[in-house]
Structure 1
Amino acid sequence: MKPTHNISVFLIVSIFQLLFGWKGMAQGIPNLGQTDRWMQGALAAIERKDYQTANELFRSLIESGLPLPEEMPYYFAETLFELGQFNNSKNFLDKYLELTGQTGRNLQGAKELKQKLTKPLAEISACGLCDSKGYRYEVCATCMGQKKQEQTCDYCKGKTIVGCSKCAATGMIKKINVFNQVEIFECERCNAKGRLTCPECQGTGKQVSECKTCLGAGRVTGEVLCDHHDHEEQEKK
């Protein structure tokens, strides 16, 4: 009877190990089904020219951290091209060509897309109205395009006064005389007050300096893709 008992215990332990072992393995297996659903959904959206939906599905796939299908960067590059995000399209196209070399299933399409990107990328590079990604600049809302603004003084933090460095803000100065005795004198620099009017803002607590939002540019990158036309000049005409 004793051997039978040992066999029963062994079987129970084995079953537990099998169950928990498979559970651990299941947790480590990527959810490839979800990857396939996102990918197929994005391709279907491209077929019906719904590029915004395709864009959202591709981004969900990227943000999930799941393994990406080999051809995904190409299809995402095509989607971004159709949405006018030419710089991002180029980045994903370059990544696709880097990963697949001359063996990608969409190699010919990738070459054609690279050619199509030449003109819009050149327009972005030559345009002074947008950043390098093609997003139009807009007037900085902080300084209203003035590049500078009145801000709290960085030196005194708006307190208008600073501690006297000569007397360490005590108002008194200690000196050792020739008899090696300590003598205390009033600080002449701050008139024994221990503080001085801020030399940077002259006691106003404010200073006019480079706008911290736009870093003195007077403009910031907006969220609208640029069409490379100066609409203000056109309105004047």
Structure 2
Amino acid sequence: MSLSKHLVVLFILTLSWQVSSAQGIIKRDALTSMDRGVEAMENGYYEAADQFFRDALSKMTKLPSNLAYYFGRNSYHLGKYKQAINWLNKYMELKGTTGQYYDEVSNYIELANEAFRKQREDEIDRTQKQLTTQGYFDCPSDYMHCPLCNGTGVLITPGKFGAVYQTCPYSGLSGKLTCDEYNQYLRGELEKKKVD
């Protein structure tokens, strides 16, 4: 083998070693960030833990299952319930029922689902209160579709001998409410119309 071929092989080996060494350093840094995140989470420093876990994620090319668990658990403590559910489900996807943290993950998924449902209900309640008690809903047009009959003017209910059709008690056959009537309906103050 000629000297130039030896130099090329030596250069390739050196380059390969440097790349491997750099990858090892990055992986070690990622694992260090993950360990610091776990420590911060265990001590109740969830924001700091979140940053450590994000740093670890940015340095890893392959997601370790335990990081999915840690990130999901920490997200739960941050009140990021949907994110927690996603990460914890990712752990289950990676490890199944045989994973080291299976019991904890199952518990956190249940807690996160319950908290997420409660959070959604609270948002709906808050929105309803804003629309109905803190002022006036600004209608996009002069008339709104009646929420009771969905703008049809007719209520259809099942009966013993088929469907029963009834004129809407709030909007009549028009299926429309004025903006003032709509706001009264939202507040529960709209009185039923007399239908002939």
TM-score w.r.t. the length of structure 2 is: 0.55
Shift of 1:73: 1.2
The structure with the greater share of residues assigned to helix is 2
Shift of 1:14: 3.3
Check if 1:33 corresponds to 2:28.
yes
User: 1:103 maps to what in 2?
Assistant: 98
Of 109, 116, 119, 1:121 maps to 116
Letter in 2 for 1:89: A
User: 2:74 maps to what in 1?
Assistant: 79
Shift of 1:51: 0.9
Change (3 A) 1:8 1:119: closer
Change (3 A) 1:146 1:62: farther
**Which secondary structure does the structure 1 equivalent of 2:65 belong to?**
coil
Give the Cα–Cα distance (whole angstroms) in 1 for the partners of residues 139 and 58 of structure 2. Answer: 37
**Which structure is richer in relative contact order (CA contacts within 8 A, separation 6 or more)?**
1
The structure with the larger Rg is 1
Kept in 1: contact 2:50–2:74 (CA 8 A): yes
Shift of 1:9: 4.6
Check if 1:55 corresponds to 2:46.
no
User: 1:15 maps to what in 2?
Assistant: 10
Residues 146-165 of structure 1: pairs in structure 2 closer than 5 A: 146=138
Give the Cα–Cα distance (whole angstroms) in 2 for the partners of residues 147 and 35 of structure 1. Answer: 53
Cα deviations by residue, 1:153-208 (Å, 9 ceiling, x for unpaired)? xxxxxxxxxxxxxxxxxxxxxxxxxxxxxxxxxxxxxxxxxxxxxxxxxxxxxxxx
Unaligned runs of 5+ in 1: 1-5, 132-137, 139-144, 149-237
Shift of 1:41: 0.5
Give the Cα–Cα distance (whole angstroms) in 1 for the partners of residues 139 and 64 of structure 2. Answer: 46
Change (3 A) 1:63 1:19: closer
Kept in 2: contact 1:35–1:61 (CA 8 A): yes
Segments of 4+ moved more than 3 angstroms: 6-14, 20-30, 63-66, 145-148
Letter in 2 for 1:43: V
The structure with the greater share of residues assigned to strand is 1
User: 2:158 maps to what in 1?
Assistant: none
TM-score w.r.t. the length of structure 1 is: 0.47
Cα deviations by residue, 1:115-156 (Å, 9 ceiling, x for unpaired)? 32243122123231579xxxxxx9xxxxxx8576xxxxxxxx
Letter in 2 for 1:107: Y
Change (3 A) 1:146 1:94: same
Give the Cα–Cα distance (whole angstroms) in 2 for the partners of residues 67 and 147 of structure 1. Answer: 51
Letter in 2 for 1:95: K
Shift of 1:27: 5.9
Q: Percent identity?
A: 21
User: 2:174 maps to what in 1?
Assistant: none
Give the Cα–Cα distance (whole angstroms) in 2 for the partners of residues 82 and 57 of structure 1. Answer: 15
